[in-house]
Amino acid sequence: MFSSVVPDYDLKNAVSSNRLQGLWRMMTGFRLAYVAATACLGIAALSRTAVFMLLRYFVDHVLGQQGRQGMAAQIALAFVGLALVQGLFTFLSGTLAARTAEGVTRRLRNYLFDHIQRLSFTYHDQTATGELIERSTSDVDAVRRFLADHAIGAGRILALFVVNFVALLRLHVPLALLATIVVPVLVVLSLVFFRRVSKVYEEMQEQEAVLSTTLQENLTGMRVVRAFARQQFEREKFEQQNWEKFVRSKRFLQMHAQYWPISDLLCGAQMLACVSIGARLAINGTISVGTYVAYAVLVIWIIWPMRNLGRMIVEMSSGLVSYQRVAEVIAVKREELTEGDYLPASDVQGQFVFDHVGFQYPSGHRALDGISFRCQPGRAIALLGSTGSGKTTLVNLLPRFYDYTSGTLTLDGVELSRYPRQYLRQQIGIVEQEPFLFARSVRDNMTYGVHRPVSDDEIEAAARAAAMWDDIMEFPNGYDTVVGERGVMLSGGQKQRVAIARTLLKDPRILILDDSTSSVDVETEHSIRRALQHLIEGRTTFIIAHRIQSVMHADLILVFNEGRIVQKGTHSELMQEDGMYRRIYDMQTRVEATLERELAGGGLF
């Protein structure tokens, strides 16, 4: 629907080590408009210079001459015509350049958004979110400014220079050379100066980023700030950072305030020299009065724009740096979603066989080692073990969030790495420890990722099965209640149950429950466990839990320690072994007994 305006082009092809070439490729589909913008720029510059040449003709051949006053009207008309041409083409050039820049960056933004959500978990583990946001917003905007303002601006300055210089040469060669003496000085001066300014500018931007990070963190963590009564501390921190921002901005403005008077002085001196030497030549008759008049204005137009050339060049180079930062992200390989040489026509059965499976994070940490067990379709496997023992890492292998690095792992007899990721993810439902909800309605969150139309009856059934229906009925707008950012309007248990309802609607063959009951109170735990019973029925389930009650009914219990399985079996088997499982069991029952005693005796509160 939207794509008709933005030509299709795979931006992957725009990645190049030559940044200018890369940018040029990025403009595929918009180049003609951009070239036209440049041509319009040239025409506008030409017509401006033509005005001055016409002025010369007017002074020399019309003004002082008898019997030619009749031409005055024609010349006036020509002036108006030239002004119109100049205005029209300046406008056209600006519009075309802006349209190009907006089109290119709009396509770039869309591409980056889609690209980033297709990058691997490993990439996201290693890259800060803020960094990606920065590249998809500020850097893209810098590319836009490069195309719309800086490249066009520099082109305009150069076009004015060339056209006016040629015109000056035609007037009088020595005078033309005289007019450009200061130009190299100005260019070098502005280059050196704006390079320094851009450093100061970057420092200012950095501080701005610090400020906005602080602001954002404080807004998100407002509850914590208030709970710990840290307002005063946070205020002082912010004020100090804001002061630094003020200092840096002042430095930036002061540098600007230095440059313009200096360059004004230079240009002024140059013009004074040109105008007075030109005047002497006119007085002693070497050049005509018309030539002198044209010369005086052309000098202005050849010198003044030069003051900005350095700025344009420096800003262009920061645009090129931004291009590179964007291109780096584009160059990252995407996670293959649909690739895989084995695609079953129907749903999986859900039989997993682990044979000496090992996994090492790219950081080098060996999180799993020698994992071997088998799991029959429809059975429940429980994973128990201290934090950091590798339970989450193991279940992350199943949807191929990460690929195991050694051993073999088969699903229904076929190596897992042969399945397309997208297929696996459709077959697997995950209820995370802290489910993420979008700031949308309860209904939208429940049907998220369900690739089929869902009726209201189905939604209600899922809500009931997840023990969430009563809660939803108490919400002000029922299913249409918006749950707030990350679902802050819901309690931990409610979020869990919405996630369970969402998974029920997805109806996957394989289920992963990562610590689904660990962060909720006893009563909620009870209703969640009931909701989970509905969910588990008939599905191959992996349950990660801390409490023995949550795992004791599983068909197979795996006890993890430091990435290895140290015990496996059913509850009754493991109770007979003298190992970690029984120690955890004893400890938990002892804690609970104490708790009960103290509650009964009123000792705890």
Ligand X SMILES: Nc1ncnc2c1ncn2[C@@H]1O[C@H](COP(=O)(O)OP(=O)(O)O)[C@@H](O)[C@H]1O
**Which residues are near ligand X by CB under 6 A?**
125, 361, 363, 365, 367, 385, 387-393
Name the residue nearer to ligand X (CB basis): 57 or 123.
123
* Chain centre distance of CA 95: 27
Query: Among Mg ion, ligand X, none, what does residue 237 contact (CB within 5–8 Å per kind)?
Result: none
Decide: 180 and 274 in contact? Cβ < 8 Å. Answer: no
Q: Token digits for 599? A: 């509650």
Query: Among Mg ion, ligand X, none, what does residue 504 contact (CB within 5–8 Å per kind)?
Result: none
Q: Taking the CA atoms of the chain, what radius of gyration do you get in angstroms?
A: 36
How far CA 507 is from CA of 345, 373, 430, 451, in Å, comes to 17, 25, 11, 11
CA angle 63, 66, 71 (to 5 degrees): 55
What is the C-alpha to C-alpha distance for residues 169 and 176, in angstroms, rounded to an integer? 5
What is the C-alpha to C-alpha distance for residues 99 and 497, in angstroms, rounded to an integer? 48
93 binds Mg ion (CB under 5 A): no
CB of 574 to ligand X, least distance (A): 18
Query: Among Mg ion, ligand X, none, what does residue 248 contact (CB within 5–8 Å per kind)?
Result: none
Name the residue nearer to ligand X (CB basis): 235 or 365.
365
Query: Among Mg ion, ligand X, none, what does residue 393 contact (CB within 5–8 Å per kind)?
Result: ligand X
Query: Among Mg ion, ligand X, none, what does residue 304 contact (CB within 5–8 Å per kind)?
Result: none
Strand order in the sheet with 510-514: 428-431, 510-514, 540-544, 380-385, 556-561, 564-569
Query: Among Mg ion, ligand X, none, what does residue 389 contact (CB within 5–8 Å per kind)?
Result: ligand X
How far CA 264 is from CA of 44, 168, 255, 393, in Å, comes to 25, 22, 15, 65
CB of 389 to Mg ion, least distance (A): 9
CB of 92 to ligand X, least distance (A): 53
How many of the other CB atoms lie within 10 Å of CB of 13?
Answer: 12
Query: Among Mg ion, ligand X, none, what does residue 367 contact (CB within 5–8 Å per kind)?
Result: ligand X
Phi, psi of 542 (to 5 degrees): -110, 120
Decide: 58 and 172 in contact? Cβ < 8 Å. Answer: no
If 0-12 CB within 10 Å is exposed, 13-18 middle and 19+ buried, where does residue 49 land? buried
CB of 226 to ligand X, least distance (A): 31
- List alpha helices for 146-288, DSSP H: 151-171, 173-179, 182-220, 222-227, 231-283
Name the residue nearer to ligand X (CB basis): 67 or 364.
364
What is the helix, strand, coil percentage profile of the chain, to 5?
A: 65, 10, 25
**Any residues with CB less than 8 A from the CB of 478 and at least 6 apart, and which?**
442, 472
CB of 428 to ligand X, least distance (A): 17
Name the residue nearer to ligand X (CB basis): 94 or 385.
385
Identify which range of 226-234, 246-254, 386-394, 448-456 contacts Mg ion by CB under 5 A.
386-394
Identify which range of 391-399, 469-477, 579-587, 590-598 contacts Mg ion by CB under 5 A.
391-399
CB of 359 to ligand X, least distance (A): 9
Query: Among ligand X, Mg ion, none, what does residue 388 contact (CB within 5–8 Å per kind)?
Result: ligand X
Query: Among ligand X, Mg ion, none, what does residue 478 contact (CB within 5–8 Å per kind)?
Result: none
CB of 545 to Mg ion, least distance (A): 11
Name the residue nearer to ligand X (CB basis): 356 or 365.
365
CB of 395 to Mg ion, least distance (A): 8
Q: Token digits for 182? A: 């200061």
What is the C-alpha to C-alpha distance for residues 438 and 129, in angstroms, rounded to an integer? 17
CB of 391 to Mg ion, least distance (A): 5
Query: Among ligand X, Mg ion, none, what does residue 365 contact (CB within 5–8 Å per kind)?
Result: ligand X
Name the residue nearer to Mg ion (CB basis): 392 or 516.
392
CB of 392 to Mg ion, least distance (A): 3
Count of positions on this chain that bind Mg ion (CB under 5 A) = 1
Name the residue nearer to ligand X (CB basis): 220 or 386.
386
Dihedral angle over CA of 124, 126, 128, 129, nearest 10: 0
What is the C-alpha to C-alpha distance for residues 14 and 328, in angstroms, rounded to an integer? 11
Name the residue nearer to ligand X (CB basis): 278 or 390.
390
Nearest to 164 by CA among 149, 147, 179: 179
392 binds Mg ion (CB under 5 A): yes
Name the residue nearer to ligand X (CB basis): 139 or 515.
515
3-state secondary structure at position 357:
strand
CB of 103 to ligand X, least distance (A): 38
Sign of the Cα pseudo-torsion (505, 509, 514, 519, in order): positive
Name the residue nearer to ligand X (CB basis): 84 or 332.
332
Name the residue nearer to ligand X (CB basis): 125 or 537.
125
Query: Among ligand X, Mg ion, none, what does residue 125 contact (CB within 5–8 Å per kind)?
Result: ligand X
Name the residue nearer to ligand X (CB basis): 389 or 527.
389
CB of 563 to ligand X, least distance (A): 7
396 binds Mg ion (CB under 5 A): no
Query: Among ligand X, Mg ion, none, what does residue 171 contact (CB within 5–8 Å per kind)?
Result: none
One-letter amino acid at 598 equals E
How far CA 439 is from CA of 217, 462, 498, 587, in Å, comes to 18, 20, 13, 41
Binding footprint of Mg ion on the chain (CB under 5 A) = 392
